Amino acid sequence: MNRDQVFEFFRRLAEANPSPTTELESTNPYQLLVAVVLSAQATDVSVNIATKPLFEHIKRPKQMVDLGEERLREAIKTIGLFNTKAKNVIALSQALIDKHGGEVPRTREELQALPGVGRKTANVVLNTAFGEETFAVDTHVFRVCNRTGLASGKTVDEVEAKLEKIVPQPFRRDAHHWLILHGRYICKARLPECWRCPVIDLCRYNPKTPPPEERAKATASRSATRASSKARTAKGATASRRSAGRSRSRPSRLR
């Protein structure tokens, strides 16, 4: 995509959703950090279900440390990898108390030094909690960037570096939310819903998915073709059986 197309791509996503944000629920940067750590290889919905009652009482790292690993594990047991995540959340909460006065740090280096916090988590926190122009690349962003040709790359780091380079103002701050939401609800992994995609003409992915009515028609026509070819085969087989029967019943002198 050239510069004008990239601008138009984000302009349309922004028009469709002027105020995008994370779907993870939290009331402060600490809760957001915990929620993002819990969301690794889990859906935001499953994280919200587990954190809703938890976050009513746990708003600060000290409260989490006081809760303890065992009770935290119990509270998040519906989320994948909950054993490791409980360990990390307690360890990162302790580290926040020991090294940052109980506050969430505002630099990538400090964030990534916390247990269970990788580059993507740091990017989400920097962006969503502190308004930094960072580009967290998760599975949705990676897929959308590669399919569309917006920022193709073999690794998440490559895609992030390209986004960093090409995303123009005034879209830099919210770009990753638009890309995540676009991947989650329209450019889905199994079947992208191209027929209702606002950037269909800018996207290089082919073949585009046709609307459900067209797909239903195509399926019906394929089934009809299959049925008629089956019928033809069956008719042919009956005819040859008959002809074989006739030749068997001829008198031997005529053969």
Residue closer to ligand SF4 by CB (options 51, 148) is 148
Residue closer to ligand SF4 by CB (options 46, 146) is 146
- CB neighbours of 153 closer than 8 A, spacing ≥ 6? 145, 146, 159, 161, 162
Q: Give the CA-trace dihedral at 176, 180, 185, 187, to 10 degrees.
A: 90
Instruction: Report how far apart, in Å, the C-alpha atoms of 2 and of each of 6, 10, 13, 149, 171 are.
Output: 6, 13, 17, 10, 16
Are residues 154 and 147 in contact, defined by beta-carbon separation less than 8 angstroms? Answer: no
Residue closer to ligand SF4 by CB (options 66, 201) is 201
Q: Is residue 186 a contact point for ligand SF4 (CB under 6 A)?
A: yes
Confirm whether 217 is a catalytic residue. no
Q: How many CA atoms lie within 13 A of 87 on its CB side?
A: 4
Q: Give the total of residues touching ligand SF4 (CB under 6 A).
A: 13
Confirm whether 138 is a catalytic residue. yes
Q: Is residue 194 a contact point for ligand SF4 (CB under 6 A)?
A: yes
| Shortest spacing between CB 163 and ligand SF4, in angstroms | 15
Q: Which of 26, 38, 197, 234 binds ligand SF4 (CB under 6 A)?
A: 197
| Shortest spacing between CB 218 and ligand SF4, in angstroms | 17
Per-residue contact track with ligand SF4, 63 to 102, x per CB under 6 A?
----------------------------------------
Q: Considering 138, 154, 162, 230, which one is annotated as catalytic?
A: 138
Q: Is residue 199 a contact point for ligand SF4 (CB under 6 A)?
A: yes
Residue closer to ligand SF4 by CB (options 64, 186) is 186
Q: Is residue 175 a contact point for ligand SF4 (CB under 6 A)?
A: no
Residue closer to ligand SF4 by CB (options 102, 198) is 198
- Under rule CB under 6 A, which residues in 119-148 are in contact with ligand SF4? 147-148
Q: Which of 20, 105, 116, 192 binds ligand SF4 (CB under 6 A)?
A: 192
| Shortest spacing between CB 117 and ligand SF4, in angstroms | 30
Burial class (CB in 10 A: 0-12, 13-18, 19+), 177: buried
Q: Considering 59, 62, 77, 120, which one is annotated as catalytic?
A: 120
Positions that interact with ligand SF4 (CB under 6 A): 147-148, 186-187, 192-194, 197, 199-200, 203, 205, 208
**Catalytic sites, residue numbers:** 120, 138
